[in-house]
Structure 1
């Protein structure tokens, strides 16, 4: 244990030092450097930075954890996020880059010739970004609480301070080059344990192939890994790992809705879109989109393998094992409250079955039970399951479960922090630029000096960090679920307005404002009802994570209907739309 902690302090200290050094070297004094890194980032570097920005704590920590527990239906996150990135790269990025504005509200305000539309877009951007950044802060807290032996709240506060330093100091320029370093850290941290565990379980060093291979040794030797997982799951009362749409799984319409909400939410996420303004040309935007897709695919194709390896190893090392003989990884994680055991039948053994072990999350008294375990005060639920496992620990605990060296465990901790902090910094910049540029400079005070705008932007980064930290300490769900809600809000507000703004000359400001308000309004009400007010999902049984797809359809419909019933946009707006869609040369948007 001491060895793991020592390695973790070393790895985390080294990577944090690197990020701060890069931020200090990249510090900026003007708004163009602060918002879009001066527009001079090479496409390859921008592709890596986009990959890091994109692969948040949800991708690194939580996505594999959810697939690990839900099997096939958990892959909605994988399909939605990957498909969404393709949609963004093909449908939006090059056109928005050619338009040449700093932010999404800037595009909306100018395309729909309305400060009201700009402010509505700004509010939507802040809502989506704050929801998303809350998930990152929870990820930071989980990593710190386990590996540096501080409580989750302290971990979140440390993460807040680091992000504030390099987002406030270097702006987009500092964030971009920091994210290049963070991509290298997080991808190595994800791949090294995946390769080692794939080799251990299946004898195949390529996780994507090991996932579909046979088990190399032990009681299940010679059987396919997925076939074995199906049998184990069914024996313990769970659904089959590879089964789809049956009882206990998500319905087909829910899977489609979540996948669609994640796809179009991706394409509407402001912190990813702004990355395409940081390259010098439209061709550079297309190139960096291609590079980013490659860098993202490396992690996303590995995640399903990591999921099944972690699940197989966890059940193999815990099921029906006497608590006194439980492996060290279990005892280490038990201290965080993210895994817990309640001995219902008094036999001193860990029984893992389908069903909740007790009401709510574990609530420890601090006393030792008859087997040396922490005593839990929560009322037990009437089923045979005695084990509580928080899904968000699976990737982080995976190297310990597989008994990999301490330095690998520490590297995964550093990778989890890199994933969370890289995305958090991008989101905080979106919030800061939305208020300082889109609200203050473009609406309230067009005469504001460069110095005033920079000062306000840095103050807003600080305010956003504090709000994000609060939600990181009091999160409304698992990391990936919180992030899915952000995607739903982006899907129902931005995507239709961006697509119609680029591809339709007839859509006007009245339609855009009505569509955004209707789309995000419906989505917010549904999420509030089902997440916080105890109302069962009532629209075709679609879960709150998928309702953004319905909000998007409402937005499209309202925008088109209202636009057709009101006055067409002015001629100069129609000419602007035509020029954005027509490829007249790669350098045009940058004034070359």
Structure 2
């Protein structure tokens, strides 16, 4: 697509970003301080939570509407006018879903230092994507990921295949994100999941339909600011109160030292020292596989890669990747502080404490199904005593008896630390904002693929701009509605579907994007690689989850012994993803060699036939 000069002057967000977002941060800080003052004056907690919730979502809605546009370039690639720093912030928000915001701290609590492999792998995948693809994608003036592959291969078939992969992966991830919002809201607010899924779907439609990628960009910037303030403020306050360090990462050594001292004083806490071991309960092979898997998942995410296409220049696209790594890192390096401080809370206030002396937050966690003692939700001292035995009433419970969900580890952090209720609400709003930002990126990638690749390039190349925008908005609304209908039904396997979607993108797009980033690619090897990777991923996923009789959990699932360790800690489909990526690579390498020989043989045959026919024609002429 021919690059049009972006009219940045008419975009207030791009023309005056420091003024706009400085004002946004000032209003956010002022709102938090006002709510703290109102809480001190006795304002009911539900009222405080409602004000913060409505204020945040109303700001997203206003930003999305103000960023509305009637120009296709702005709708699909935000006019190519997003400054690098803010583009990196939007890309980080698109990558940092609710899973990273909530579950990563819980992973540190369960794995110890071994959890760093996930963050390092994600950083390597994002960094490789930025290094290899940011410049080439922006230089090619592509509009979508499928468009970039089609430009490099000069193939309509590649465009179609890549579009189908992007649509399938993005839609499944969108459904998982919406279902996650429903589960989170049900656990925090005790509302039916279908209500929150519907509300999130409506909010997404109102935010993104007016401006497409442009609306998604600037709402993601706002959402990143909210989620960062929400994630950093509570843990920074607690770190300053307990250790004198307002930067939580600087408090980690002292927190670890206190944990070691507690473990040394109590023989029942001996296993706590394993958290300081680099490998923990993992083997080096498990950690290496986890790191590579995380990198593969992060490399080929269309809703992240397409952020490079909204940059004003190639250099700006490359800077975007560096800013994205910085903004992602700010969140990921803070997660260990949540885990360490929570371990201190558990050991100091639960382990070995008589049941009558347990703090109130223990039972609040139990009622929210976030804290289990001896396998029973900690709803009351009587329930704990019945589950753990009568001796626990005086001697308390051991560390092995405590099970705190990863979601509650972050969401209930402010309650455990006796902070203002404002921060509890902020954490909830931050988690929802993280989910909405990822959903926005997925919808923008999905909509751009439908509008540009399928309609404009394949189905109706001559369609006017009005019809293109109409198709884009219609596809966005349809995707939101279908994903919400799927997510609203209970009993969905979110982890399995998420692995399938990420695996399809990693195996179907990862190898061919790597080749396309290095220069022009051949169409036939690219098609073969995408087909081999996606078919292998789907076939092995079905075999692993259902077995030959297509009954979930039937006991005949197939997981190679080398990956049993990862399956036991919640990464069941690692083998499937690796084998699918391997199949895609093998197909790509083999087809890079074979087509040239096949084409040369065909040309040779045609040449000989042509010469023979000419000779015959020459011999036939004298006869006449």
TM tier relative to shorter chain? 0.7 to 0.9
Where 1:28 maps in the other structure, the secondary structure is: coil
Q: Which stretches in structure 1 are left out of the alignment for 5+ residues?
A: 216-222, 359-369, 371-382, 571-592
What is the DSSP-based 3-state SS (H/G/I as helix, E as strand, rest coil) of the residue aligned with 1:213?
helix
1:430 aligns with one of 429, 445, 454: 445
- 2:507 aligns with 492
* Corresponding residue number in structure 2 for 1:96: 137
Deviations 1:349-394 (A, max 9, x none): 6489xxxx99xxxxxxxxxxx9xxxxxxxxxxxx997665432222
Deviations 1:384-410 (A, max 9, x none): 976654322221111111111111111
- The Cα of 1:495 is off from its aligned counterpart by 1.5
Give the match for residue 593 of structure 2. 564
Kindly indicate whether residue 209 of structure 2 is the aligned counterpart of residue 168 of structure 1.
yes
Please name the residue that 1:303 is paired with: 335
- Give me the whole-angstrom Cα distance separating, in 2, the residues matched to 1:326 and 1:60: 28
Q: Distance in 2 between matches of 1:560 and 1:77?
A: 29
1:348 is paired with a residue whose SS is helix
Q: 1:211 aligns to what SS in structure 2?
A: helix
Tell me the residue number matched to 2:83. Answer: 42
* Corresponding position: 1:264 with 2:280: no
2:76, 2:143 within 8 Å by CA — same for their partners in 1? yes
The question of 1:459 aligning with 2:493 is answered no
Alignment of 1:244-255 (within 5 A): 244-245=278-279, 249-255=281-287
Say if 1:422 and 1:40 are closer, same or farther in 2 by CA, change over 3 A: same
**Residue 530 (structure 2) pairs with residue 516 (structure 1):** yes
2:414 matched to 1:399?
yes
- Residue by residue over 1:390-442, the C-alpha shift from the partner in whole angstroms, topping out at 9 and shown as x without a partner, is 32222111111111111111111111111110111110121222223222222
> Alpha-carbon deviation of 1:451?
1.9
Does residue 235 (structure 1) correspond to residue 269 (structure 2)? The answer is: yes
Query: What residue number does 2:574 align with?
Result: 546
Query: Is the 1:351–1:386 Cα contact (8 Å) retained in structure 2?
Result: no
Cα distance in 2 for residues equivalent to 1:387 and 1:3: 32
Deviation of 1:226 after TM superposition, in Å, equals 5.8
The separation in 1 between residues aligned to 2:260 and 2:527, in whole angstroms, is 49
1:526 to 513, 526, 540: 540
1:71 equivalent in structure 2: 112
Give the CA deviation at 1:26: 0.6
Of residues 125, 139, 142, the one that matches 2:166 is: 125
* Equivalent-residue separation in structure 1 for 2:96 and 2:187 (angstroms): 21
The superposition leaves residues 172-209 of structure 1 with CA deviations (integer Å, 9 ceiling, x where unpaired) of: 11111111111111111111112122234433322112
- Whether contact under 8 Å (2:135, 2:314) holds in the other structure is yes
Partner Cα distance (1:36, 1:226) in 2: 51
Query: What secondary structure is seen at the aligned counterpart in 1 of 2:214?
Result: helix
Residue 225 to residue 126, structure 1, CA distance change in 2 (3 Å) = farther
Looking at structure 2, the residues matched to 290 and 384 of structure 1 have their Cα atoms a distance apart, in angstroms, of 41
Structure 2 distance, partners of 1:488, 1:456, is: 29
Q: Which moved more, 1:321-330 or 1:104-113?
A: 321-330
Contact 1:270 1:430 (8 Å CA) reproduced: yes
* Residues 1:348 and 2:382 are matched in the alignment: yes
Aligned CA RMSD, in angstroms, stands at 3.4
Task: Give the stretch that moved more between structures: 223-232 or 130-139.
Answer: 223-232
Give me the whole-angstrom Cα distance separating, in 2, the residues matched to 1:105 and 1:300. Answer: 30
1:553-586 CA-partner distances (Å, limit 9, x unpaired): 321221111121003999xxxxxxxxxxxxxxxx
Contact 1:126/1:431 (<8 A) preserved = yes
Q: CA deviation at 1:324?
A: 6.6
Preserved CA contact (<8 Å) 2:230 2:423: yes
SS of 1:29's partner is: coil
Structure with more of its chain in helix, by fraction: 2
- The CA deviation at 1:168 is 1.6
For 1:384 and 1:202, how far apart are their aligned partners in 2?
24
Instruction: Answer with 232-241 or 123-132: which moved more.
Output: 232-241
Q: 1:280 to 1:566 in 2, by over 3 A?
A: same
Q: How many residues align?
A: 532
Cα drift, residue 348 of structure 1:
3.0
**Corresponding residue number in structure 1 for 2:122:** 81
CA distance in 1, matches of 2:519, 2:589: 10
Distance, in Å, in 1 between the alignment partners of 2:341 and 2:450 is 44
Q: 1:314 to 1:155 in 2, by over 3 A?
A: farther
Pairing of 1:357-372 with structure 2 (within 5 A): none
CA contact 1:318–1:350 (8 Å) conserved in 2: no
Could you list the per-position Cα deviations for residues 35-87 of structure 1 after superposition, in whole angstroms to 9, with x for gaps in the alignment? 11111112122122112112111221111122222223333321221221211
In 2: Cα distance, 1:503 partner to 1:453 partner:
31
Structure 1 residue 14: Cα displacement: 0.6
Q: For residues 267 and 128 of structure 2, what CA distance do their matches in structure 1 show?
A: 35
The Cα of 1:231 is off from its aligned counterpart by 8.7
Corresponding position: 1:418 with 2:433: yes
What TM-score, normalized to structure 1?
0.81
Structure 1's 234 and 284: CA in aligned 2 closer, same or farther, altered over 3 A? farther
Shift of 1:322: 6.3
Structure showing greater relative contact order (alpha-carbon pairs closer than 8 Å, 6 or more residues apart): 1
Could you tell which deviates more after superposition, 458-467 or 94-103? 458-467
Distance 1:4 1:330, change over 3 A: farther
TM-score, reference length from structure 2: 0.77
